[in-house]
């Protein structure tokens, strides 16, 4: 069993080790880690038991059921709060080396604040971690996978800078309680998606017309919170704990829609506005927002008549605090988009999309999954990893999510194909291009609540019968396929 920290310390470059094509097989090195992932709101259920507080997703699905497919909620979901031992049994069947799950902030701190601790919440995650460790599966924990305590939302949520301080209190108590059990921590899951989705799209908290202002405030305070947690961890815990701390960023590849210089520039700008927004402040040599983001938003804000940029400025101290504040980069990758230059005149209405200046599309010939945004484009994976390598001097990367949605059904050969082709692409990035990737996580262990898509999109290696009282889990073909990979480390 290899701890992430050992990998971090010893295997600085996996490409140098026993990687390669052995006897015609595509193999990963012995110490490459395979895992599976879920997130609290998507699987736990038990939304109001034993002292848990309300999260923004509880409140959103209850008050805006019209915005959720089939008016479903995560009230019960896959009931992993009660069935976690069964989930761990599935992982034993899969032979995975780690489980990436998230902790529900309001399950531990019902209104998000440190003065009111819910002991049942603390107990639940201890029992889950103990069960994992007993079975030789390392816990990899996301502190925030989108379920903000509703009370903090009422204070303004991530647009209020004080929430960053409250997040540090929460993170400190996680290190205190679980520090010795967790191999790797992720402060946030996909700030790009939750800051955009919550302030433009239909995700909680569902502020629909707020793009170009609130999404940037959200990103700003999330970046501050991330940096503050990392510095607190270094000061108070690093010497005594054998663990590592990173952040998960989503990087769906952005390829130019044509060979024109305009589209090539638009695609690069779109990368800086997506992963760069969060990765540049943390992983670049200079820190701070990507220069192109700074430049575009500052100048468009001016044209629109604002007296200051809609993208907030970090203080010099904040830039230093955030720069270098991660032991590794967690990357989620699912699909690819094409980018062409947006030729429309700047409208007076602020928006991230206009600031970015590109129009996203996908090729109709690309094979589809069961989510409108998810086309199957394996080559984008290798390109994304190479871009990260070039841009941030080859940081240590763990793939914290990759997966595909299909219809219900146990014979999921298309999922097997997806995993195979994406893993081949990742393997090429490691062996041929020297990218520092040391782990892969399939999303998801089981079918779960797919946010505004309810239970209509299935990502699981195991099917969940949401209509059965026991939320019966049944293996799909892909679970056998993935079990072979995680055991043999070969495709």
By annotation, the residues acting in catalysis are 401
8-state DSSP, 401: E
Residues 213-252 that bind ligand PNW (CB under 6 A): 250, 252
Residue 335 main-chain phi, psi, to 5 deg:
-160, -175
Locate the DSSP E strands across 196-262: 244-250, 253-256
Q: Which residues contact 170 (CB under 8 A, 6 or more apart)?
A: 105, 108, 109, 112, 114, 143
By Cβ distance, which residue is nearest to ligand PNW? 373
**Distance (Å, whole) CA 468 – CA 482:** 26
Task: Considering only the stretches 93-101, 186-194, 285-293, 314-322, report the one whose residues sit in contact with ligand PNW under the rule CB under 6 A.
Answer: 186-194
The total of other beta-carbon atoms located within 10 Å of residue 469's CB is: 8
**Distance (Å, whole) CA 163 – CA 157:** 7
Task: Considering only the stretches 189-197, 216-224, 338-346, 478-486, report the one whose residues sit in contact with ligand PNW under the rule CB under 6 A.
Answer: 189-197
Residues 375-404 that bind ligand PNW (CB under 6 A): 401
Q: How far is the CB of 65 from ligand PNW (least distance, A)?
A: 19
CB of 171 or CB of 195, closer to ligand PNW: 195
* DSSP secondary structure, 313-368, as one string: PPPHHHHHHHTT--SEEEEE---EEEEEE--SPPPSS--HHHHHTEEEE--TTSPB
Does position 193 bind ligand PNW by CB under 6 A? Answer: yes
Task: Considering only the stretches 162-170, 187-195, 204-212, 406-414, report the one whose residues sit in contact with ligand PNW under the rule CB under 6 A.
Answer: 187-195
- Binding ligand PNW (rule: CB under 6 A), the pick from 59, 269, 332, 351 is 332
CB of 99 or CB of 459, closer to ligand PNW: 459
Q: How many residues bind ligand PNW (CB under 6 A)?
A: 13
Residue 186 main-chain phi, psi, to 5 deg:
-120, 125
Does position 38 bind ligand PNW by CB under 6 A? Answer: no
In what helix (H) or strand (E) does residue 186 lie, and over which residues does it extend? Answer: strand 184-189
Q: How far is the CB of 42 from ligand PNW (least distance, A)?
A: 6
- Binding ligand PNW (rule: CB under 6 A), the pick from 7, 39, 247, 437 is 39
**Distance (Å, whole) CA 416 – CA 172:** 40
Q: How far is the CB of 459 from ligand PNW (least distance, A)?
A: 6
Residues 249-278 that bind ligand PNW (CB under 6 A): 250, 252
CB of 124 or CB of 251, closer to ligand PNW: 251
Does position 360 bind ligand PNW by CB under 6 A? Answer: no
- Tell me which residue has tokens 């270098």: 324
Does position 373 bind ligand PNW by CB under 6 A? Answer: yes
- Binding ligand PNW (rule: CB under 6 A), the pick from 450, 462, 464, 473 is 450
Is residue 51 within 8 Å of 110, Cβ to Cβ? yes
Q: How far is the CB of 156 from ligand PNW (least distance, A)?
A: 24
Q: Which residues contact 93 (CB under 8 A, 6 or more apart)?
A: 475, 479, 483
Per DSSP bridges, beta strands 462-464 and 473-475 are antiparallel
Does position 142 bind ligand PNW by CB under 6 A? Answer: no
Residues at the interface with ligand PNW (CB under 6 A): 39, 42, 189-190, 193, 250, 252, 332, 373, 401, 443, 450, 459
């Amino acid at each position: 069993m290899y701890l992430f920290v050992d990998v971090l310390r010893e295997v600085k470059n996996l490409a140098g080790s026993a990687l390669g094509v052995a006897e015609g097989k595509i193999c990963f090195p012995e110490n490459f880690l395979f895992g599976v992932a879920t997130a609290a709101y998507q699987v736990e259920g038990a939304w109001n038991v034993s002292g848990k507080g309300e999260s923004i997703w509880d409140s959103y699905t209850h008050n805006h059921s019209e915005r959720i497919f089939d008016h479903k909620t995560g009230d019960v979901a896959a009931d992993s709060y009660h069935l976690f031992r069964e989930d761990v049994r599935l992982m034993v069947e899969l032979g995975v080396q780690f489980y990436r799950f998230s902790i529900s902030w309001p399950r531990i701190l019902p209104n998000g604040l440190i003065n009111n601790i819910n002991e049942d919440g603390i107990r639940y995650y201890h029992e889950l971690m103990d069960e994992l460790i007993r079975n030789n599966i390392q816990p990899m924990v996301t502190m925030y996978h989108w379920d903000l305590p509703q009370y903090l939302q009422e204070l303004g949520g991530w647009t209020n800078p004080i929430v960053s301080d409250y997040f540090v209190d929460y993170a400190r108590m996680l290190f205190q309680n679980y520090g010795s059990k967790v191999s790797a921590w992720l402060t946030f899951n996909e700030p790009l998606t939750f800051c955009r989705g919550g302030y433009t799209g239909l995700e909680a908290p569902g502020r629909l017309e707020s793009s170009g202002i609130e999404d940037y405030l959200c990103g700003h305070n999330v970046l501050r919170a991330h940096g503050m947690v990392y510095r607190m961890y270094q000061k108070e815990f690093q010497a005594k704990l054998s663990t590592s701390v990173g952040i998960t960023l989503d990087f769906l590849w952005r390829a130019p829609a044509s060979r024109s210089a305009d589209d090539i520039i638009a695609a690069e700008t779109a990368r800086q506005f997506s992963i760069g927004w969060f990765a540049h402040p943390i992983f670049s040599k200079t820190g701070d927002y990507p220069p192109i983001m700074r430049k575009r938003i500052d100048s468009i804000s001016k044209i629109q008549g604002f007296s200051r940029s809609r993208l907030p400025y970090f203080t010099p101290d904040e830039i230093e605090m955030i720069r270098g504040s991660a032991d590794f980069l967690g990357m989620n990758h699912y699909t690819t988009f094409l980018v062409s230059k947006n030729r429309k005149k700047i409208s007076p209405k602020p928006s991230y999309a206009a600031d970015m200046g590109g129009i996203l599309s996908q090729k109709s010939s690309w094979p589809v999954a069961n989510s409108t945004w998810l086309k199957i484009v394996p080559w984008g994976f290798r390109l994304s990893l190479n871009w990260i390598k070039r841009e941030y001097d080859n940081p240590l990367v763990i793939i914290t999510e990759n997966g595909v949605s299909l219809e219900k059904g146990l014979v999921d050969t298309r999922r097997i194909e997806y995993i195979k082709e994406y893993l081949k692409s990742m393997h090429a990035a490691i062996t041929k291009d020297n990218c520092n990737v040391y782990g892969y996580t399939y999303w998801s262990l089981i079918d779960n609540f797919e946010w505004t898509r309810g239970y209509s999109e299935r990502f699981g290696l195991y099917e969940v019968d949401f209509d059965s009282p026991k939320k019966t889990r049944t293996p799909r073909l892909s679970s056998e396929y993935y079990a072979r990979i995680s055991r043999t480390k070969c495709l």
